[in-house]
Homo-oligomer: A and B are copies of this chain.
Amino acid sequence: MLDLAVLGLLKEGDLHGYELNKRLKSLVGGYANSYGALYPALARLERRGWVSSTAVAPELVTDEQTSEGHPRRNRKRSTRSKSGRTRKVYQITEAGEDHLLELLQEDANNERRFRLQLAFCRFLPPDRRLALFELRRAHLVSLQAMARRDPVHSNDPYVRSLFERDQERREHDLAWLDRLIADEQSKRQSGANPDPIDP
């Protein structure tokens, strides 16, 4: 799961672990400050050849990589470092990109995984993307059916309220997915030139 998130973020651009973690936090509300998961994951991805890393000495940090614009008066030297340690900047490999495409298509039964798949589904070809959405839809529909044929037995008001919320959430989610699917299909019909020659 983390693999998917990391490869997806690295496909957008090279990053080091600390920065990756910040992006993960804003991408998935959750994925705490768990460097305890991230760093081992990066090491694993590198062992498998899906990413490669470059050590970047703090002196070599360039202006582009350093936060905002206003250059604040150089103190002592023009090259100042924002970090005290050598950073390891990771980049995705070709094998990594292939693997990412696989991860983007598998399952979709898992709520958290689907979240990540959606966040990076722009890297999929349109037909694969649509297939992913349909797969997720089928899963939601089967959950819906399960809930309907086996309604709440409990008379407890709290349990009932919980199950009602679940029901509403499923319906809301299905409607949302249907909108996504409809948008995909309308895209195929209108600007359906995968190799645009005449703009």
In the complex, are the beta carbons of A122 and B176 less than 8 A apart? no
Residues of chain B lying within 8 A (CB to CB) of residue A119: 156, 158-159, 162
A33 to B14, CA, bound (A): 41
Nearest chain B residue, comparing its CB with the CB of A165: B176
For chain A, which range describes its interface: under 10, 10 to 19, 20 to 34, or 35 or more residues?
20 to 34
| Least distance between A161 CB and chain B CB atoms (Å) | 6
Q: How many copies does the complex hold?
A: 2
Residues of chain B lying within 8 A (CB to CB) of residue A147: 29
Assess whether A166 is interfacial by the CB under 8 Å rule. Answer: yes
A161 to B183, CA, bound (A): 11
Interface residues of A in 9-56 (CB under 8 A from B): 26, 29
In the complex, are the beta carbons of A118 and B162 less than 8 A apart? yes
In the complex, are the beta carbons of B29 and A122 less than 8 A apart? no
In the complex, are the beta carbons of B158 and A121 less than 8 A apart? yes
In the complex, are the beta carbons of B169 and A169 less than 8 A apart? yes
Nearest chain B residue, comparing its CB with the CB of A111: B30
Assess whether A72 is interfacial by the CB under 8 Å rule. Answer: no
Assess whether A60 is interfacial by the CB under 8 Å rule. Answer: no
Assess whether A146 is interfacial by the CB under 8 Å rule. Answer: yes
Assess whether A172 is interfacial by the CB under 8 Å rule. Answer: yes
| Least distance between A187 CB and chain B CB atoms (Å) | 10
12 more A-B residue pairs beyond the given contacts A119-B159, A157-B183, with a C-beta to C-beta distance below 8 A = A26-B150, A26-B153, A29-B143, A115-B162, A119-B156, A119-B158, A119-B162, A161-B176, A161-B180, A165-B173, A169-B169, A172-B172
Q: Which residues of A contact B (CB under 8 A)?
A: 26, 29, 115, 118-119, 121-122, 143, 146-147, 150, 153, 156-159, 161-162, 165-166, 168-169, 172-173, 176, 179-180, 183
The 9 closest A-B pairs by CB, nearest first: A165-B176, A118-B158, A118-B162, A121-B158, A119-B159, A122-B156, A26-B150, A122-B158, A119-B162
